Each structure stands twice: as structure tokens, then as C-alpha cells.
Amino acid sequence: MATSAPARSLLPAGDLGGRHIVLGLSGGIACYKAAELCRAMVKAGATVQVVMTDAACQFITPVTMQALSGRPVFSSQWDPREAAGVGNNMAHINLSREADAILVVPASADFLKKLVHGGADDLLSLLCLARPAEAVPLIVAPAMNREMWANPATQRNVAQLKADGVHVLDVGQGDQACGEVGDGRMLEADELLYDLVRFFMPKPLAGQHVLVSAGPTYEAIDPVRGITNLSSGKMGFAIARAAHEAGAEVTLVAGPVALATPRGVRRIDVKSAQNMLMALDIYAHSATVFVSAAAVADWRPAAPSEQKIKKDGSGQVPTLAFTENPDILAGIAASERARSGRLYCVGFAAESHDLLHHAQTKRARKGVPLLVGNIGPATFGQDHNALLLVDEAGVVEFPQADKLSLSRLLVADIAQRLAR
């Protein structure tokens, strides 16, 4: 009999629900991205307390950040207002004590220097210095001109901050406000939000290399026609993201889909089932987990036409001969790496009816320890799904939820199995 996962675990208040973040802004044109990030964090469930340096106030107003955060903005260590409901006028102490993290966005070259040397000449640097380091992590998102970023002094400061336990995020690459192009741009708001969410996620897959296949395959009939299916790839892409959140190195082999690559994930684009098999065979040699979420075509035209097949007016439909595609999952599950226990294989079954029966049969036929079943017509192209996890011990049901929430549950389940 199937058992159900707790429904409340599928319905979080938001990725940052219950988190309190002190959002610090130092001087830089990238302050405009901090406004968008603040709004996104609040939408994700966090409470946000903004602290700005005088230089930051030259680029964006405290009124803007107050409107977006819903809380008064602090910018001076001499501010007479009570902070965190404590009437001792010590904002540098009180603001950090209730925080789950301090996130400095943007962190200018000058502010990075202050952190390295313990500078404390403004409220933001003062509260970073006074924070309880064991309980309140400090995360910084650098932003500066490409030459400033490449300068040995900046790179020494970044290395020292990392050695001191500060979490220094990557910089972006591209056009800069000064008109130059290169490294040093601050990450975009959605990238920063992802990195913050991932920071708080448990890392049960740390040290693992997860290989995920996703999306449909396309089997050519002629240069302009082919056979494919309705898979959107959303489930496989969500699994790749969830595995990366859980600390894994992730490689995603994707059929033809129009989806953005999850942040931090290596993506390999393929077209046909044979293309997918070749790519997966390469990365399976170093992977420790393989999740086969792609909807791979069972058959392909035996002899695709090199030219478009034209109607000739006779009313006769051309005859197509098909040949069977290789069984990718069964082949990888039968490999020496999988049989020796160094590669844990998870299959997917997209069925139209009798899900439990077909999933159990497919698991035995493919020779995998875990098979995840879902109803294809109900999930292809949709943002929600419901899963049935089938192993030799029985069945566990994950009720309908958004695909990312289900992917996080699946990844947590896989991590538990690996730890047994």
C-alpha cells in the first residue's frame, strides 16, 4: 500500500520563510539591483532589515529601500531610534543579533578592504565586525570595475575574507556602467536570491556528482520533420536544481527544451536518443547518482530522408520503417559502475494508466533500485506533478505539488538511501 509524504513539507511559506536577513548596501551603481533583490527576498518569505552606508545613499534612497523592505532603514551608528526593539541606541549590536545572515549587496572594493582590516567607521562595517560570527554568517556580493576586481590588492582581500570564513559570492561578467566589459559586475537579483536560498539549504549530497537527463528527444524523419513527445523538461531541470542546492556537482543532459539552465549546473544539450546516450555514457563514468528523467523516444525512423519528403498528389502516404532506440537507463544500470554500487540509478516512468503496475514492472525490467512514476498526460508541460516512488520494499506517494518542491523531496530521499 502506498504511503504519503507529509503534505505540509510540500507547502513551505517560501524559500526564505522564517529567515531574517540584514541587507547591507555599500557604495556602487549596483545598488539598483539590491532594490530588486530586497523585493524578491520579501516575496520569498524573509524579513529584511536594510542598512546603508553614506555612499550607498548617493546611488539609491533609503525611502526606496524602506518601501521595499517594509522596515525603517538604518544608515548611521548615531541613529537614536531603537533597533530590534532594544532601547540602548546600539544599532551595531542589536541589528545583527536577530539576523540569520548579513548579506552585503553590493560590496565595493573599499568595503571589502574594511572587512579585511576590521574597519568600523560606519554602521554597516561596524555591525559586520560586531556580529556573533558563529551564529550570523556574513555573505558579500562584490561589485566593481574589471580592473579594480583584477587588481592584486582586491584579490588578496577576497582570499583573506574567504580564509576568515566570509562567504564571497562570484562576480558576473559583461557590460559595466563605466562602459568597459569584463569581470566585476555584481550578480543579478535572481542569481543572488538563488545563492542565498542555497546557502541555507542542507547539503546531504555534498561530495556527490549527480547526472540528470531531462526533456524529450527528437528523432528526425527528414530535415524538417521528426518524432518527439510532450515532455517539457521541467521536472528534470527542477531535480538538477534541487541536487545542486543539496551540495552536489550536477551535470544536466537536456533534450530540445526552452528552459533556462539552473544556476551552478553544467548543461549538455542533445537532440536524439543516440545523442543523449553518447553524452550520458561520458559523464556516467564520474557520476555517483544518475536520475533518468528524460522522456526518451522508444523508436526512431530506420532511414531518415536527407531531403524533405514531398507530397506527389497521389494521395499515398509514405511508409516509414522504424528501429528501436537503445534502452539508456537499462544500459547504464547494467554497467560495471552501477553494479558495483558506485553509481546509484533512479528511473522515471511516465505512464497514461495503471501507474503502479507499470512502474513496478519497469523497475524490475530496467534493474534499478528506485523508479519514480507519474502520469505523463497530467504533468507534461505543467508546473505541478505527483510522484510514486517504487522500490523493492514498496511504494511511497508524494502528493501533487510544484515540481521544485517534489524535486527537493526526491533529492532528500535519494540522499537518505545513499547514507544507508
Instruction: Report the relative pairing of strands 209-214 and 249-254 from DSSP bridges.
Output: parallel
Task: Give the whole-angstrom CA distance, residue 314 versus residue 175.
Answer: 58
Nearest to 115 by CA among 44, 203, 187, 26: 26
pLDDT of residue 85: 61
Nearest partner of 53 among 119, 123, 129, judged by Cα: 123
Task: Quote the pLDDT of residue 354.
Answer: 83
Count of beta carbons in the 10 Å neighbourhood of residue 117: 11
What angle do helix axes 234-245 and 189-200 make, rounded to 10 degrees?
60
DSSP 91-140: HHHHHHHT-SEEEEEEE-HHHHHHHHHT--SSHHHHHHHHS-TTTS-EEE
Between CA 201 and CA 314 the distance in angstroms is 63
Contacts 24+ apart (CB under 8 A), 386-391: 388/2, 388/355, 388/356, 388/359, 389/413, 390/356, 390/359, 390/360, 390/363, 391/363
3-state helix, strand, coil in the chain (%, to 5): 35, 25, 40
SS3 category, 5: coil
10 Å CB burial of residue 215 (0-12, 13-18, 19+) is buried
The cell numbers describing 270, all together, are 542533445
Half-sphere CA count of 140, side-chain side, radius 13 A: 26
Question: Which is catalytic among the residues 31, 57, 128, 178?
Answer: 178
**Domain extents in the chain:** 13-200, 209-298+321-419
Q: Is 178 a catalytic residue?
A: yes
pLDDT of residue 66: 97
Q: What is the pLDDT of residue 84?
A: 60
Amino acid at 361: T
Could you tell me if residue 289 is left (phi over 0), alpha (psi between -120 and 50 degrees) or otherwise beta?
beta
φ and ψ at residue 261, rounded to 5 degrees:
-70, 130
- pLDDT given for residue 10 in this prediction: 33
Q: What is the pLDDT at residue 11?
A: 33
Per-residue pLDDT tens, the chain, 420 aa: give them.
344 443 333 334 589 999 999 999 999 999 999 999 999 999 999 999 999 999 999 999 999 999 999 999 999 888 777 666 655 667 777 788 889 999 999 999 999 999 999 999 999 999 999 999 999 999 999 999 999 999 999 999 999 999 999 999 999 988 888 888 888 899 999 999 999 999 999 999 999 999 999 999 999 999 999 999 999 999 999 999 999 999 999 999 999 999 999 999 999 999 999 999 999 999 999 999 999 999 999 999 999 999 999 988 888 888 899 999 999 999 999 999 999 999 999 999 887 788 888 889 999 999 999 999 987 777 888 899 999 999 998 999 999 999 999 999 999 999 999 998
Q: Do domains 13-200 and 209-298+321-419 have the same CATH topology?
A: yes
pLDDT of residue 23: 98
- The pLDDT, as a whole number, for residue 88 is 63
Strand ranges in 208-338 using DSSP code E only, listed in sequence order? 209-214, 219-222, 225-227, 249-254, 266-269, 289-292, 299-301, 322-324
Dihedral (Cα; 17, 19, 25, 28), 10-degree rounding: -50
Residue 184 contacts residue 176 (beta carbons within 8 Å): yes
Task: Domain 13-200: state its class.
Answer: alpha beta
Q: Which CATH class is domain 209-298+321-419?
A: alpha beta
Contacts with 31 (C-beta within 8 Å, 6 or more apart), sequence order: 25, 56, 59, 60, 106
